[in-house]
Amino acid sequence: MLSQEFINEVKERNDITDVISGYVTLKRSGRNSKGLCPFHSEKTPSFTVYSDTSSFYCFGCQAGGDVIHFISKIENLDYVEAVKFLANRAGLAIPEQGKNDGLTHMRLRIREQNREAGRFFYRSLYSPAGRQALAYFHSRGLTDETIRRFGLGWSPDGWDMLVRHLSQLGYKRDEILSADLGYASRKGGLIDRFRNRVMFPIIDLQGNVVAFGGRKFTEDVVGGKYVNTSDTLIYKKTNNLFAMNIAKNSKSRELILCEGYMDVIALHQAGFSNAVAALGTAVTPQQARVLHKYANSVILSQDGDEAGQKSIARSIPIMKAEGLDVRVLAITGAKDPDEFIRKYGPERFKMLLDGCSNDIEYSITRIGMKYDISTDDGRLHYLREVCEYLSGLGTLEQEIYAARVADRLHIEKSAVLSQAQASARRKIKSEKEKEFREMAKNTAGIGSKINPERSSNLLASNAEYALLAMLFTHQDLIPKAAKQLPPEQFVTDFGRRIYTGFIGINDSGQEVTVSLLAMQFSEPETAEIVRIINSEYSNGTNDFKPLIEIIKNEHFTPKPQDAAKLSSDELLQQMSRLKKKKS
The pTM (predicted TM-score) of the whole model is: 0.72
Residues of the chain where predicted confidence (pLDDT) is lower than 70? 1, 96-101, 304, 435-447, 537-542, 558-583
Q: How many CB atoms lie within 10 A of CB 496?
A: 17
Instruction: Report yes or no: 248 and 292 within 8 Å, Cβ to Cβ.
Output: no
CA-CA distance, 125 to 132, in Å (whole number)?
A: 9
**Residue 30: what pLDDT?**
85
**Residue 556: what pLDDT?**
75
**Residue 565: what pLDDT?**
46
CA-CA distance, 240 to 179, in Å (whole number)?
A: 16
What are the angstrom distances between the C-alpha of 570 and each of 266, 562, 573?
81, 11, 5
Rounded to an integer, what is the distance from CA 41 to the centroid of its chain? 9
pLDDT tens figures, 178-189: 999 999 998 889
CA-CA distance, 535 to 366, in Å (whole number)?
A: 45
**Residue 31: what pLDDT?**
85
**Residue 573: what pLDDT?**
53
CA-CA distance, 220 to 225, in Å (whole number)?
A: 11
Instruction: Report yes or no: 503 and 467 within 8 Å, Cβ to Cβ.
Output: no
pLDDT tens figures, 305-318: 777 888 898 999 88
331 closest CA partner among 355, 315, 347: 355
201 closest CA partner among 232, 245, 256, 157: 245
Q: How many CA atoms, within 13 angstroms, populate the side-chain half-sphere of residue 277?
A: 27
CA-CA distance, 170 to 184, in Å (whole number)?
A: 18
> Where in 265-358 does DSSP place strands (E)?
275-278, 297-300, 325-328, 357-358
What are the angstrom distances between the C-alpha of 384 and each of 166, 424, 432?
60, 12, 23
Rounded to an integer, what is the distance from CA 108 to the centroid of its chain? 23
Instruction: Report yes or no: 497 and 521 within 8 Å, Cβ to Cβ.
Output: yes
**Residue 431: what pLDDT?**
74
Contacts of 343 (CB under 8 A, 6+ apart): 333, 334
392 closest CA partner among 428, 432, 434, 435: 428
Instruction: Report yes or no: 114 and 159 within 8 Å, Cβ to Cβ.
Output: no
What are the angstrom distances between the C-alpha of 272 and each of 245, 333, 460?
14, 20, 63
Instruction: Report yes or no: 497 and 503 within 8 Å, Cβ to Cβ.
Output: no
SS (H, E, C) 487-554: HHHCCCHHHHHHHHHHHHHHHCCCCCCHHHHHCCCCHHHHHHHHHHHCCHHHCCCCCHHHHHHHHHHH
Q: What would you report as the CA-atom Rg of the chain, rounded to the nearest whole angstrom?
A: 29
**Residue 583: what pLDDT?**
47
Burial-class residue 311 by CB neighbours within 10 Å (0-12, 13-18, 19+).
Answer: buried
The vertex-529 CA angle with 524 and 533, nearest 5°, equals: 155
